[in-house]
């Protein structure tokens, strides 16, 4: 793999964008290779973001009814508590592995 150019934070040239910036423009990388890296210095080592060429980006694919149904099903599964099997109304925190109510009950029993 050839080395890609590195740019410091906010110093990237025009015509390059991160995935998030491409998405805001209604674009996606579309299979292109990383054009450059953006590095933001910090104490623990730099944060790195990959940059893609805007002129090679492709439009975002439209949401189809099947993709929308699949996404809704996946999000619904993230709201179901594995302990009480109820819809919590929010995405279950992965750090808890259960809804907040079940976690509170578990903590009360162990105290």
Report pLDDT digits (tens) over 32-65. 999 999 998 888 888 999 999 999 999 999 999 9
Q: DSSP secondary structure string, the chain?
A: -PPPPEEETT-PPTTEE-HHHHHHTTEE-TTPPP-EEEEE--TTS-EEEEEEEGGG-EEPPPPPHHHHHHHHHHHHHHHB-TTT--B-SSPPPTTTSS-HHHHHHHHHHH-
Q: Taking 90 as the threshold, does the pLDDT of residue 76 lie above it? A: yes
Q: Taking 80 as the threshold, does the pLDDT of residue 2 lie above it? A: no
């Amino acid at each position: 793999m050839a080395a890609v150019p590195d740019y410091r934070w906010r110093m990237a040239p025009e015509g390059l964008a991160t995935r998030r910036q491409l998405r805001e423009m209604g674009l996606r990388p579309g299979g292109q290779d990383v054009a450059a890296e953006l590095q933001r210095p910090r104490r623990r080592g730099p944060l790195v973001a990959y940059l893609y060429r805007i002129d090679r980006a492709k439009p975002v694919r439209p949401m189809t009814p099947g993709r929308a149904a699949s996404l809704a099903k996946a999000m619904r599964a993230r709201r179901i508590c594995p302990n009480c099997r109820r819809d919590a109304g929010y995405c279950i925190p992965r750090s808890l592995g259960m809804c907040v109510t079940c976690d509170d009950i578990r903590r009360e029993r162990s105290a």
